[in-house]
Structure 1
């Protein structure tokens, strides 16, 4: 093959490969307050989020005890004192994720940063920790709605990040995770049998311990509970105040009607009602 023809063919191949290959990772925008980590093979890209969704802690209702413990742990972390990774579990829509987002609003000026990591991107978590270990800021790696199914091995990367493996745990990073499952992984009835478990496992208890060992690596557990009517109405009042609207009797009755139509009372439902109420024209703010 003549050199000119070879070079032309090589250039054609490179152009096609360029479409398939990921772009070169740019230097992260270290001035940002919030990020999203996205895996590319064993590495990843730290994508800045220019407008993170944050709000004051006092917008949250019915989570005072959980807030106090999480704030204390976070302040220990920011001040360079020992602090724990945190697992928040419980009923959906009760403020688990919102509480983490509100921390950024309260502590960004003290160097706190938030990094959202999806479960599918956990395999490259060691690369993220390597990227962060020399930074002066304090980072919360936020894993929202975390759970794992049988046969899913991505949790192993998280276990290593929580404990540090052979290396020392990254001193400027904590993991805050939310889940509807206390143990993060599915458990089966046959795992309670004091025999082989019905699936041929000689030591079934060891398999069970492997499943609960992940949640054990979170030093602080916070439980969240379903809202009663007063909790729900307080959440509505807080969010309406955020929009500069009064929580009068009409709003109260409309909020109760809204929760009845949804079949649920939670902080999330309260926020959704407040969005709808604030978006209506004044003459439309009536009980449906």
Structure 2
């Protein structure tokens, strides 16, 4: 009897090792942020971001985003948001910073949920889960772009924003960042002009479904230097403005990201952490 049981026990042990681990239920009220991968939600203990006040050159955008998130947290009518434009000008940084600021101001009432690209197809399932929670959520889709010839995700998101017979819960709104307002990837010049126009029209139709659309544009020289100072002044670090400008010229772009990189270089030379 014992000899017969031993092989069965070994088989059972092997099957147990092969089986995927049982996922613990997600506490949707316990963390300030989460990452949705499509079938798993990973709690995030702290949102990594720069301070809201450090963001420069986008004052109007800061006011618009923070006001909209405040409404969402309070249960008032709020917009889905599309932040589009120049790379490195603080689109995703603003979403993270404004969310962290709101969470600190209203603990427990609001959470940020970043949806990775693989999670877009199951975002309707995520919304169904969150609709049952007594909390406000901002679903964050960063650097969104749809490939040519693959319109299904575009159409799914359009339907989610505006076009289904089921109303989306008022405690859930979307924030999308993209380098282009049309949210469509460049390239594929060989595609037919009519086909490209149709895809462009579809992408613009998606953009039109956002109640709040904010553009981000390359900063001028003065704003670029102001951003560098915003990082270096709190650390009592000085820098050569001509070198800061040369740093940007060498990278072909003046932006908040480039300003941060230069400030990081200045801090590193002084043995300080930025």
TM over 0.5: yes
What's the Cα RMSD here? Answer: 2.9
Number of the residue aligned with 1:176? 175
Alpha-carbon distance in 1 for matches of 2:260, 2:198: 43
Offset of residue 159 of structure 1: 2.6
**Does the residue aligned with 2:229 lie in a helix, a strand or coil?**
helix
Distance 1:164 1:10 in 2: 51
Q: 5+ residue gaps in structure 2? A: none
Q: What SS does structure 1 have at the residue aligned with 2:37?
A: strand
Aligned to 1:125: 123
Match in the other structure for 2:134: 136
Secondary structure of the corresponding residue to residue 127 of structure 1: helix
Pairs aligned (count) = 265
2:85 and 2:136 mapped to 1: Cα distance?
27
CA contact (8 A) 1:37 1:115 kept: yes
Alignment of 1:240-255 (within 5 A): 240-242=232-234, 244-246=235-237, 248=238, 250-255=239-244
Classify 1:172/1:255 alpha carbon distance in 2 versus 1 (closer, same or farther; 3 Å). same
- What's 1:235 paired with? 227
Cα distance between partner residues in 2 of 1:182 and 1:206: 15
Q: Is the 8 A contact 1:28 1:47 kept in 2?
A: no
Match of 1:267 among 251, 256, 260: 256
Please tell me whether residue 213 in structure 1 is matched to residue 205 in structure 2. Answer: yes
Q: Distance in 1 between matches of 2:27 and 2:157?
A: 22
**2:218 aligned with 1:226:** yes
Question: Which whole-Å deviations, capped at 9, do the CAs of 1:132-157 have from their partners, x for residues lacking one?
Answer: 11222221111111000023323344
**Does 2:272 correspond to 1:278?**
no
Deviant stretches of 4+, over 6 Å: 187-193
1:177 match: secondary structure:
strand
2:201 & 2:231 partners in 1: Cα distance? Answer: 42
Paired residues of 2:75 and 2:136 also in contact (CA < 8 A): no
Q: Deviations over 1:194-230 (max 9, x none)?
A: xxx3x7xxxx976654333222221111111111111
TM-score by length of 1: 0.80
CA distance in 2, matches of 1:46, 1:282: 38
1:263 and 1:48 mapped to 2: Cα distance? Answer: 38
Gap regions ≥5 residues in structure 1: 284-288
